[in-house]
Amino acid sequence: MKTEFNVPKPVNRCFVLSIISFFLFLTACPSENGSTTTKTPLILISMDGFRWDYFNKTETANFDELIQSGSKAKALIPVFPTKTFPNHISIVT
C-alpha cells in the first residue's frame, strides 16, 4: 500500500537540510570520553579607571600574590581609548 503526503517540496528540503545540519553538528562536537586534556581556568582582572601606580601607593597583599603566580601588564596601548569594553575584547582575543 502506497502512502503519499502532500507536503510542498521546500518544506521537505528544509527538513532534510536541518537533519543533515544536526548530524554534522553532532560529529563536530568533541567526545568527553576521548578528551584527555584539561583546561586551566583563566581569570582576567581589569580595573577601569585604576591608575598604574595605585599598587605602589598601598599594601596589596592579595593582588601581589596573584601577580606573583600570574602576570601583570606594565602598560597597555588601548584599541579604543575612551571605551573599556572594546579593550577587554582585544585583551581576551
By residue count, the chain amounts to 93
- Concerning whether 84 is annotated as a catalytic residue, the answer is yes
Q: Which of the residues 3, 37, 60, 84 is marked catalytic? A: 84
Question: How far apart are alpha carbons 14 and 9 in whole angstroms?
Answer: 9
Cell of 7: 507536503
Write down the residue that cell numbers 584527555 correspond to.
36
Cell of 15: 527538513
Active site residues: 84
